[in-house]
Amino acid sequence: MQLKLAIHRITAIRFGAATSIDGTTDGTTLIVNAEALRRLLLEDPSLSRVEFEIVRPGESCRAGPVFDIIEPRAKEPDSSPDFPGILGPPQTAGMGTTHVLEGMAVTVLKETGAGDSRGAPGYVLEMSGGPAAGTKYASLHHLVVIPCTKPGLPGHAQQKAYRLAGLKAAVNLARAAANDTPVSTYRFESVGPAEGDRDGLPRVAYIGQIFSRQRKPELGEQILYGAGTDGMLPVVLHPDEWLDGALVPSYHNSLGGVETYFYQNHPVIGELYQRHHARELNFVGTVATIAAADNFDRDRNCRFAANLVRWSLKADAAVLTKFGGGVPHADLAETARLLEGMGIKTAVQVTDLARDRRLESALLFNFPEVNAIVCIGGNGTAWKAPRLDRVIAANPEMAERLRGPFELEAMSVIGVSNQQGVSRLRAIIY
């Protein structure tokens, strides 16, 4: 298995007669035929209409509530499918060439409010001011997709329509680069438990939670190769599968969750790959798991994950991250404790959601052997969000709700808080 990324850097987006890439001495513009893209998305009978907006870095603009953010990517023929299990057959992801529109994103909005997200507005995209400094998404050019579903659809059907609209738009735009010469290419070096010529290097694995069962899964939710997490046991994945469309986030993206863009640019996997290429370590693979809803499932899943790392990947060390709220701390720590007992060194990443940034982690686990802990943010940062003239939302009522001014918590700004390694916040106790 080997994945190659063909990078096309986008420095502007505009609407035009044909979806294409226009390269000049000043940069590269993605031209979007909005009518053709609208017709494509409206092939889904769940949608009544679709609108598009363009947002630029540094613009005084707010958009929301955000359902997902996706980096436009499209596979070449004879490669693995685009988003297998959702847009294509459930074949193994991570093989062949993927064209990437770097510097931009497809951002999909929801029609309704926060649901289980913290903060009245739900997740918002902030392109200026203090919140923008805390998120990579403020530095990107966005094609905002505003899908409106037909009346009477249940919530899970609405969200499936949002997912399909975002993924289909992202692939369609990236296909415009298929015949263009990329500015650069990146080929991932082969990894796996059987790779030779790495004697003496520490064998390192990654264990990532992809859902927390403290949230009730939505009906028909597609997370891993188009399937949900009902009854899921930990599974070994090649790192390239994470990066190339095997995974999309849950509909429950609250509490510092993830976006599709995050999986496509997974920082922990990227760092392990970088160190693998530099021959600092031997990256032997990954395990995808979930946080359990009860102690029985927790004990079973943690032991399965630890055994896969020990016996299938034959690792010397492991990096672990969690998904969702505070309870997944317990699954994270128990898996690390089991690994430490097997002689496998661990490092865990946590985000403490307690308001005082002291209480929660201490209550959820306190294992002396799990002592390499990276704190990647807390829950105490907020900004006074000003009133803005340009607000993008699915309807006038939501736009007025988002216009401001109001207090905006870090966990309500998409991309600021992330529990799996991409947050720019750090929790410091004085």
Close Cβ partners of 274 (under 8 Å, ≥ 6 residues apart):
none
Q: Residues 54-107: pLDDT tens digits?
A: 999 999 999 999 999 999 999 999 999 999 999 999 999 999 999 999 999 999
More confident call, 338 vs 358: 338
- For residue 192, the model assigns a pLDDT of 85
Bridge partners, residue 32, by sequence: 15
Three-state SS sequence of 83-100: CECCCECCCCCCCEEEEE
What does pTM read for this prediction? 0.94
CA-to-CA separations, 168 to 26, 162, 165, 228, 414, in angstroms, rounded:
29, 10, 5, 20, 21
Distance CA 381, CA 322 (A): 21
For residue 121, the model assigns a pLDDT of 65
pLDDT value of position 118: 46
Mean pLDDT of the chain: 90
The confidence band for 32, taking pLDDT boundaries of 50, 70 and 90, is very high
- CA count, 13 A, side-chain hemisphere, 285: 20
Would you state the pLDDT for residue 416? 87
Q: What would the mean pLDDT of 152-165 be, rounded to a whole number?
A: 96
- Domain boundary assignment for the chain: 3-185+384-391+399-407, 190-382+408-412
Q: Could you give phi then psi for residue 261, rounded to 5 degrees? A: -55, -40
Q: Is the pLDDT of residue 430 over 60?
A: no
Q: What local confidence, expressed as pLDDT, does residue 166 receive?
A: 98
**Do 127 and 116 touch, CB atoms closer than 8 A?**
no
Q: Residues 159-176: pLDDT tens digits?
A: 999 999 999 999 999 999
Q: Is the dihedral of CA 225, 226, 228, 231 positive or negative?
A: negative
Which pLDDT value is given to residue 387? 94
Query: Is residue 117's pLDDT more than 50?
Result: no
Residue 327, pLDDT score: 82
**358: pLDDT strictly greater than 70:** no
**pLDDT number for residue 93:** 97
215 pLDDT above the threshold of 90: no
Tens of pLDDT, residues 375-397: 776 667 889 999 999 999 999 99
Percent of the chain surpassing pLDDT 70: 91
Q: Residue 225's pLDDT is what? A: 98
